[in-house]
Each structure stands twice: as C-alpha cells, then as structure tokens.
Amino acid sequence: MGFGSVEIITIPVPAPQGDEVLIRVAHYAINPTDWKQVDTSATGPGTVVGIDVAGTVVALGPDATRFKLGDVVAGLSPGNKFKDNGGASEYALLEEEIAFALPAGLGTAEAATWGIGAGTAAQVVFQSLGNAFPVPGTPAAPNGKWFFVSGGSTAVGLFVVQLAKRVGYSVIASASPANFDLVKEYGADAVVDYHDAAGAIAEVERVTGGVAQGAELAGGSSWDISAKVVPEGSLAAIVLGDPTGHAIRSILGYVLKRTKETYSPKDHEYIARFYALVPELISTGEIKSGQVTERVGIDAVPAGLAENKAGVSGTKIVVRIAQ
C-alpha cells in the first residue's frame, strides 16, 4: 500500500542472539537507503524496511551486557535485508555496541535520528579523515584550518558540521539559501549556495584561503564544488560519482555484524567507540540532534518513504510506532 511494493505485514517477534537486544520501537527515522531498497527491490520481497530506531529494551541476547531491561536506547537495527527484522516494526533488534542509552532530556523521536546520521558523520570525520575523537567536556582547541561540508543541511551534514567544529575546524558548508540560517545554527562559520558552482568555489576560496578537509554528502552537481576546493586524499564521500577518483569512500553499512557478507570488524570497533561517547556529548550540549518531522503510526511508513524520496531538506521524517 502507498509506496512501491511496501506492505504492512505481520512477522514473529525476533529473538535476540549474541550481544543483540530487542526493543519495543517508539520511533523509526526514515533514511534514503530505506526507500532505495524498496524502489529497486534490491533485497527481494518480504524484507522489513528500516534501520534507525529508538525504544525500550524488552529482551537481551545471552552475551548482551551494556543494557538492562527497561532501558531506553537508540541505534542501528539491521534492516532492509532481512525478513525477520527491521526498524519499521513494533519490535526490532539492535547490536548493543552500535547503540546508546538516552541521556536525560533526549526524546525517542530525536534519538532515532542519531543512528545513520551521527554514525556516518563520525565515520567521515574520524575514521576516514583521521581526526582524533573529542574528549567530552573538554573544550575544542581551534586548529586554524577549514573543513568543507557539501550538503550541510542534510541529516548527516548537520552532524558533520558539529563534529568538525568539535575537533577544532572552522566550517564552511554548501546548502540551499533557504537553509543557510539552519546550517549556521548548527555551527557553520560560513555557507555557500550550491546552485552556483563557480560562485561557491570562489566564495570558499575567498573566505578560507584553502580548506584542509571536506565531506561530499549530496552527490550529483555538488561534486563540481567539493572536487575542486578539497585537496586530493582529504575528501570523504558517502555517495558515488567522484569525477576525480580521489575521494575516500565512507560506508556505514559495514559496521553491522548481521550483514555478514560486508561486515568489517575494524569499522564496527571504530563506530562502537564513537557511540560510547554519544550520551556525554549530548548531555554536555556539545552535539545536538537534527530537526524532526513526526508522522504517527505504522501505516504512515509508506507515505513517509514517498515523502523522503520526493526530497526532504533541513529535517528528518520520524514515524512514531508505539502508541
């Protein structure tokens, strides 16, 4: 119903294995990878859509030690590939090291946006580009360098802006003029209009005198800017299409153990280290959630996927599952 071949179906409640935990899903946040899996039928019929979730722990795997029953947590649920698990469901599995307990003041709607958004941003800034993890509670030490974010108003972009600032960079980002104020609210020192590549390149060079590192998060025509302003070997990308072949590819999907064919223990360990820092980074106000637009009920998922596909700017669609 609603979007492509999406159907609301009934599946058995999955049992947590190893270090997995089972949560009753409060909110599920929609990402482009969700509708792309549906649109292309990449993983076949009957798979459960969704990855980003937040909810209450109701069962523990035999090796799970970080959380207890009743904890409210958020993170990455292995979805879009399996018939017994996914985020757009009443219950979903989380790998405990790729999850975090919600600190006081953070609601499940906002927390659900952290999984792919913050995890991908961390992979870009820390793992791919080699910056050191921040120490929560310790002020950022300015390094005198500039970081360019292509796609600054995207869900990942707002996290990249904050993390780059947190490790000492001045940040210049590209976005639509309608989102300039939003991107600056999240820490960008300057913003350029990606619609005018030549003008944006000139403005980046004028403001910064040259950037040290950058992230390509939007793709398409945005490469015309990032590939020219960021030095070779210092641009991390989460999208395909690099015209130079010099960008470092960042793919968060390799962190999940359940996706055995692509699982990378190194990636898992790296992102697990970041998730261990997340509650304190939130509690101290060093990093904040992106904007959310809430939809209500599992029946709202197909329309939410279609809305995401049509294009969402400056906000993330989050579906409240638990009533």
Closest CA to 43 of 8, 84, 14: 84
Distance CA 249, CA 123 (A): 10
In a domain, 259, yes or no: no
Length of the chain: 323
pLDDT in tens, 171-197: 999 999 999 999 999 999 999 999 999
Q: Residues 191, 318, 67, CA angle at the centre, nearest 5°?
A: 105
Distance CA 137, CA 68 (A): 26
| Mean pLDDT calculated for residue range 221-249 | 95
pLDDT in tens, 88-125: 999 999 999 999 999 999 999 999 999 999 999 999 99
Answer with the one of 252, 278, 306 that is the final residue of a domain.
252
Same-domain check for residues 125 and 228: yes
pLDDT of residue 43: 65
Distance CA 233, CA 247 (A): 6
Q: Are 163 and 157 in contact (CB under 8 A)?
A: no
Range of the domain at 295: 20-113+289-320
| Mean pLDDT calculated for residue range 43-54 | 86
pTM to 2 decimals? 0.94
> Checking DSSP bridges between strand 292-296 and strand 248-249, what pairing results, if any?
unpaired
In a domain, 311, yes or no: yes
Same-domain check for residues 134 and 76: no
| Mean pLDDT calculated for residue range 223-246 | 95
pLDDT of residue 37: 82
Closest CA to 208 of 128, 130, 149: 149
Same-domain check for residues 139 and 102: no
pLDDT in tens, 270-289: 999 999 999 999 999 999 99
* Average pLDDT over all residues of the chain: 93
Does 3 score more than 70 pLDDT? no
Distance CA 310, CA 78 (A): 24
Closest CA to 260 of 81, 118, 124, 86: 81
pLDDT in tens, 247-272: 999 999 899 998 888 899 999 999 99
Percent of the chain at pLDDT > 90 equals 80
The tally of domains found in the chain comes to: 2
Distance CA 115, CA 120 (A): 8
Percent helix, strand and coil across the chain, each to the nearest 5: 35, 20, 45
Same-domain check for residues 144 and 77: no
Same-domain check for residues 170 and 244: yes
Please count the other Cβ atoms lying within 10 Å of the Cβ belonging to residue 83: 13
pLDDT in tens, 190-217: 999 999 999 999 999 999 999 999 999 9
Distance CA 138, CA 30 (A): 33
39 confidence band (pLDDT: 50, 70, 90):
confident
pLDDT in tens, 18-33: 999 999 999 999 998 8
Percent of the chain at pLDDT > 70 equals 97
Does 144 score more than 90 pLDDT? yes
Q: Phi-psi region for residue 67, left (φ > 0), alpha (ψ -120 to 50) or beta?
A: beta
Please count the other Cβ atoms lying within 10 Å of the Cβ belonging to residue 200: 24
Does 2 score more than 60 pLDDT? no
41 confidence band (pLDDT: 50, 70, 90):
low
In a domain, 124, yes or no: yes
In a domain, 12, yes or no: no
Which residues are within 8 A (CB) of 150 and not within 5 positions of it... i.e. 6 or more apart?
Answer: 173, 174, 194, 214, 215, 216, 217, 218, 222, 223, 225, 226
In a domain, 283, yes or no: no
